[in-house]
Structure formats: structure tokens, C-alpha cells
Amino acid sequence: MKQRRPLIAGNWKMNGSLAANQVLLTGLLDGVAQLATVACDVVVCVPFPYLAQAQASLQDSVIKWGAQDVSAQEVGAYTGEVAVSMLRDFGCGYAIVGHSERRSYHAEADALVAQKTLRVLEAGLTPIVCVGETLQERKAGLTEATVARQLNAVLAVLNTEQLAKIVLAYEPVWAIGTGITATPEMAQQVHAFLRTQLSGLNAQAAGQVAILYGGSMKPDNAAALLAMPDIDGGLIGGAALKAADFLGIVAAA
Ligand code: PGA
């Protein structure tokens, strides 16, 4: 039994439609209803327009829902942005911040990710803070330096109480959507490093933070990854789009 309750979070990315989502959500609801016990927290992070649909479908279930990004601003003239108060209006429990696709395609800097994390916490939601190195960085021996830089920017704005409430996700960029997964040992090494970094701020809080692994996690590799002492769950992209695959990972947890 793990000290921290595992969390399996789906990141649907820019996929779906009202009709396709309904099939997926119904499949997930049926699937969890058939499990004897759900030994982990289960979340789906859907595109903004479908938050209302997720809320309507999931509100009476054990499955929670969230967004894939959020504004660093609270309210006002920020065209195209979505405030965390709006996420709360639709019952969101979670928001992903600093996903590598946001960092690379939208030039999101570490300091912006830190501000977003803070907004999410202030609103009483749980931020899923993503960090991870590129293949180039790994080959150059910069894995720890990269994730430490990304994490430390966030830690710099949090107090101990807030620290204990974040979820961290280690997502090596080279493993996202590629079918190449970090080995359990490789992932564990970085997860342990991240927890040591958290401990630098507060050892007790560091023990409470769930650190998810993300990057081509599938039903057939999930159990081995989740068996590692510092891997507390998964952030799932591709395999979150099929109910059977996502449920397979939930079952593994
Ligand atoms: P993947 O995506 O599972 O498709 O690799 C993970 C993620 O980007 O969160």
C-alpha cells in the first residue's frame, strides 16, 4: 500500500467532439462501476468547451474533471484566456499547468507556469504541474538540471501549505506521444530527484506530493511504472482517449 493515494489523470489534449466524448465518458462510467474498488483518484482533463459536458456526465461519479491549462491572470482584458474562477464554475478539481506542449508551442516560461500554479491553488483547485526534459537535454546530461529549473521556479512562489497541495508530473518530452516510455528505473530516478528537491522546501510536504509519470503510459506498462516507490500515478495522453485503455491503467493502479 502506497503512502500516497495514486492519481490517474487523462489529458485529452485537442481531441474529441460532443458525440465522441459522450461515448468515452459513458465507457469510463460503466468501467469504474464494474471495478470492485477504485484504489486511485481518477481525473479527465478535457478541452475547455467540454467542461460543461464533463460536469453533467461525471458529477455523481468518482471520476473528477479538470482543464488542460489556465490563465495566469484573474480576470479582465485577456482575449482568449480562461480564468481559474471559470473552471471552478464548471466544477473542475484540477488544471494542468506547464505541459510541454504549452511550453514549446506557446513559449510558456517557467515564471508563467509558476504564476498559473499559484492562481490554481488560490482558487482551491489542484494544479498538475508538468516538468520534463527534451531528448537533447537528456543526451547532454541535463535531465536533472532541466527539471530542477522548471520545478524551482514554481517552488519559489509557494509556501509550505501550498506545496503539499500540488501534484507534480514528470513527463520526459521524448516519451510523449512517441510510444517510447521511460523505463521504470529511469523514471523512478527522476521522481526521487524531484522529491528530494521538494524536501529542500519541506520534508513533510514533499512526502505528501503525488508525482505522476507521463509519456506513453499504457495498460501494459503501467503496473511496472506504478510499482516504483516515487511514481504515484500517471498523466495519460493517447491511452486516455479509449475507455478500455484508460480503465486498464486505472485497474493497474
Ligand atoms: P502520451 O501523452 O500518453 O500520449 O504520451 C502524455 C501527455 O502528454 O500528458
Q: How many CB atoms lie within 10 A of CB 190?
A: 24
Quick one: what percent of the chain has pLDDT higher than 90? 95
Residue owning the nearest CA to atom 6 of ligand 1: 237
Residue owning the nearest CA to atom 3 of ligand 1: 237
pLDDT at 22 over 70: yes
- The catalytic site residues sit at 99, 171
* 37 — pLDDT class (breaks 50, 70, 90): confident
What confidence tens digit (pLDDT) does each residue in 206-241 have?
999 999 999 999 999 999 999 999 999 999 999 999
At residue 2, the pLDDT reads 66
What atom of ligand 1 comes closest to residue 96's alpha carbon?
9
Domain boundaries, the chain: 7-252
Ligand 1 interacting residues, C-beta cut-off 6 A: 11, 171, 176-177, 214-217, 235-239
Given its phi and psi angles, is residue 130 left (phi above 0), alpha (psi -120 to 50 degrees) or beta?
A: beta
* 4 — pLDDT class (breaks 50, 70, 90): very high
Q: How far, in Å, is the centroid of ligand 1 from the Cα of 164?
A: 25
* 3 — pLDDT class (breaks 50, 70, 90): confident
Amino acid at the residue 13? K
What confidence tens digit (pLDDT) does each residue in 85-118 have?
999 999 999 999 999 999 999 999 999 999 999 9
Q: How many CB atoms lie within 10 A of CB 86?
A: 17
What atom of ligand 1 comes closest to residue 217's alpha carbon?
3
Residue owning the nearest CA to atom 2 of ligand 1: 237
The span from the CA of 198 to the CA of 164, in Å, is 9
What atom of ligand 1 comes closest to residue 215's alpha carbon?
5
pTM assigned to the model: 0.97
Q: Of the residues 14, 96, 129, 176, which should be mutated to test ligand 1's pocket, given the most ligand atoms within 8 Å of the CB?
A: 176
What confidence tens digit (pLDDT) does each residue in 123-176 have?
999 999 999 999 999 999 999 999 999 999 999 999 999 999 999 999 999 999
At residue 73, the pLDDT reads 98
CATH of domain 7-252: 3.20.20.70
What confidence tens digit (pLDDT) does each residue in 57-83 have?
999 999 999 999 999 999 999 999 999
